[in-house]
């Protein structure tokens, strides 16, 4: 049976958040984000890419948010879910935002659920990149980030620090607490730390 998605109430402050989780080791931080945003009063619905499921399970996000997790553009029970989610959401946070997902966004692809949602959604989107520093420096990735910034996407991070494989350098996903503060500052709910 198809679940009807509740519509957001237009007179309330922005509080319906879609959390996009991509495939990368930093996906574990997304669990802290989901929990943190929920504690701050956001209604959080999670979209996971197929690669994200290799690092963390949908059950984690369902448990932390009390909401179902969306993973498949062609779910026979929710064929309309990317458009329904785009109508419901006030804002979106993609964390970790991988090179692959940002390339899809830059090219306008809608070949999986997260990219389809982002292409349909017209509200503010925060991207929290995470990848190895060598990838971050490559011209195609730099070009895509620049293009997405020009189109109005907001970036939080990446920062320098320990990376997968024991390396260290740029490309580490920003810490969840900082991401939450940046989003709340944008919404006028608090102030982001300087620096």
Query: In the chain, where are the structural domains located?
Result: 16-186
Long-range contacts, stretch 56-64, CB < 8 angstroms, 24+ apart = 56/21, 56/27, 56/28, 56/30, 56/31, 60/31, 60/34, 61/19, 61/21, 61/30, 61/31, 61/34, 64/31, 64/34, 64/35, 64/38
Return the higher-pLDDT residue of 72 and 48: 48
- Cis peptide upstream of residue 25 (ω within 30 degrees of 0): no
Please list, in sequence order, all residues whose beta carbon lies within 8 angstroms of the beta carbon of residue 166, skipping any fewer than 6 positions away.
Answer: none
For residues 129 and 95, the answer to whether their CB atoms sit within 8 Å is no
Return the higher-pLDDT residue of 5 and 97: 97
Task: Give the model's pLDDT for residue 124.
Answer: 97
> Is residue 161 helix, strand or coil?
strand
**What b/e string do you get for 138-172 counting C-beta neighbours within 10 Å, with b at 16 or more?**
eeebeebbeebeeeebbbbbbeeeebeeeeeebbb
- pLDDT (mean) for 13-23: 92
pLDDT at 62 over 90: yes
Task: Give the model's pLDDT for residue 9.
Answer: 43
pLDDT at 107 over 70: yes
> Is residue 113 helix, strand or coil?
helix
Max CA-CA distance within the chain? 49
Name the pTM for this structure: 0.88
- pLDDT (mean) for 104-131: 96
| Domain at 16-186, CATH from 3.40.50.1950, 1.20.1250.20, 2.60.120.260, 3.30.413.10 | 3.40.50.1950
- Give the separation between CA 50 and CA 103, rounded to whole angstroms: 16
pLDDT at 191 over 60: no
pLDDT interval class at 80 (50, 70, 90): low
Return the higher-pLDDT residue of 163 and 84: 84
pLDDT interval class at 193 (50, 70, 90): very low
pLDDT at 168 over 80: no
Task: Give the model's pLDDT for residue 1.
Answer: 36
For residues 122 and 135, the answer to whether their CB atoms sit within 8 Å is no
pLDDT interval class at 76 (50, 70, 90): low
């Amino acid at each position: 049976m198809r679940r009807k998605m509740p519509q957001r109430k237009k007179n309330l402050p922005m509080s319906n958040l879609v959390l996009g989780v991509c495939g990368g080791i930093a996906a574990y931080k997304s669990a802290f984000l989901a929990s943190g945003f929920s504690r701050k009063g956001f209604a959080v619905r999670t979209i996971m890419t197929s690669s994200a499921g290799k690092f963390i399970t949908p059950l984690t996000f369902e448990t932390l948010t009390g909401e179902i997790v969306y993973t498949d553009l062609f779910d026979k029970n929710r064929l309309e879910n990317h458009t329904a989610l785009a109508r419901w959401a006030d804002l979106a946070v993609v964390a970790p935002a991988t090179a692959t997902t940002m390339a899809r966004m830059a090219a306008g692809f809608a070949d999986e659920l997260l990219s389809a949602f982002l292409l349909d959604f017209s509200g503010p989107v925060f991207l929290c990149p995470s990848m190895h520093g060598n990838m971050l420096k490559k011209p195609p990735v730099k070009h895509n980030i620049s293009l997405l910034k020009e189109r109005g996407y907001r970036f939080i991070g990446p920062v320098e620090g320990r990376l997968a494989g024991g390396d260290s350098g740029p490309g580490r996903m920003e810490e969840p607490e900082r991401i939450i503060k940046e989003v709340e500052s944008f919404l006028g709910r608090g102030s982001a730390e300087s620096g």
